[in-house]
Structure 1
Amino acid sequence: MSVSSLLLTGGRWRCFPALLESSFFQTLHNSCCRKKSTTPTKSIPVVGMCDENPKESEKALDKLFSAKQQASILHVLNTASDKELEAVRLLRGRRSNNIVEHREKFGPFQNLESLMDVPLFQYKTTIQVCNSILFPNAGKKRENQENRVLRNLINPEIGREELKAANSIVSIVFGTRKIAWVHLDRNLAVLDWQQNECCQLIKGKYQSSVYFQKISSIISKIPEADFYVLQKIGISVQNLSLFPALLHFHIIEAMLYTMLNKTFAQDGRHQVLSMNRNAVGRHFELMVGNTRTSGKELVKQFLSDSVLTARPRVFFPPDKIVRYRQMFSSTEQYRIEELYDSLLQAIAFYELIVLDRVPKARCSEDPH
């Protein structure tokens, strides 16, 4: 059942919806969040989150919370175990341990400012933690929305924090004739970029041994990475004329999942993901209705910008840029969408999931 929590800031009362699941925080909520009194209240100035003067920030911290709210926050900080502290969204992990260790070494917290003496706590963090203690469910709606977006973008489901920690990925795109892959790091630097022929696979009787031999040869060239991201192509199973291509795609996808998820049987950790092709197209403004257009011109622009601009959107190593341009030029007369798409998919993975950047498709400057 949702309960309206009230916080006094700048002389105005604001409501925060909160679902109170823990009796520990239910007691806290009842003790510090009361209905607005009819008696006049003194206006309390709002202090900015980015105060540049640490001493003034410490003094201002008391002004952000009422005496009852401060007492309730201190009660949690001084009495909650590390497990109970981890129930607060911003205190999961090392922060909860640091609070307990600081409390055991120096005694109870006397005021909110003393929380900034704990490792990993600065002024802005302290305010966020205090608000999370008072209103433990205020940020869940946004989290749920982000998780829904993530589920529509990639599968299987993997925690966002694990995805954000990816230092490098290999993006793999396969078609009926070619398989292309690019190795990209979190600085959006291309470490390697290749394509291989596989046109004979779709011909004949789909022999498993032939697929195994060809895919094994390609995987032997693919470097180690935190994740391997495959393009998920949506082909209707009701279109019988496309059934050979659909079968081909499913065979390759299954083999890549099996052969690249090397440690899954031991640790159950997914290293191979499938990424929605049209979501990548929307990110780069390549969609016309429900149809995705070619990314050829966009990739050509990335290659040129890497040489001509000081801060390109994608970095190509100087010792390989000539080879990549030659590879691109030699196939100019052919449609090599797998080559373009592998790079675009890798960039979209980092910009949408890891770096939270949403720059315009044609912008070559770093958004920061």
Structure 2
Amino acid sequence: MYRWNNLRNCCYRVLLTRNYCKAAGDNEMVLDSLYTDEEKRNILECFNKSSIMELMATKNLNKQKSSSVVSHREKFGEFTCLTDISKVPGFGLITLQKLCNILKRVTHEQLKESVHKMTAEVVKSQPNLSKEKCKSIQNIVAMDIQADRITWLKMSRDLHVDDWQQVKIFNKPYVKYEPAVYIEKMTEVVNSLPSAGIYTLENKIYRYPTSSSNTMGFNKRRLLAVYYRHLHFTN
């Protein structure tokens, strides 16, 4: 009886596998019928011309899957239909359909532009800087603010480091200071900064917030507000 049950289960699994493979093959053929000819041309152009970085710019493919697309394309040639893309290792039909729904509205030129915006040549600032202001800047002071100290670095326009220094704000950062003393010490630090065309500060993001990181983040935001006020009115 035990052997008979095992044999029956094995046969049942084989039938399920065959039916699943047949259904998967039908679904792959259906994928091409979900889009118009123009949409399919647009999708295929993105898959056939995009680099790894451009595929990652869709925000739906990680580096591993983007590399698989490029490797498959280099090995077997360009994709001629959407069914060909489903043969790339690691691609499921649901994932592929979601990606096609995005790429049918996106051109390859738009993906290239997205990659260009992600490169180091393009920097987002807050507040935004005009082109005229950017051209007039000859040097910058980049700052890193900590709870008890500030580190600054002065660079010329061609990224030559002119000077840098680490200045302590408080000898004992965990001691409670009166607001007047607090402001006075921070003013001394601001006055010690070298003159520059612009002062920059990286907006750090805490990806895994905790009770301690939230408190630290709030205190840093408060420091930033004071520094911004001093720099804004003294420069």
Q: Which has the higher helix share?
A: 2
Query: Which entry has the higher C-alpha Rg, 1 or 2?
Result: 2
- Alignment TM class, shorter chain as reference: 0.3 to 0.5
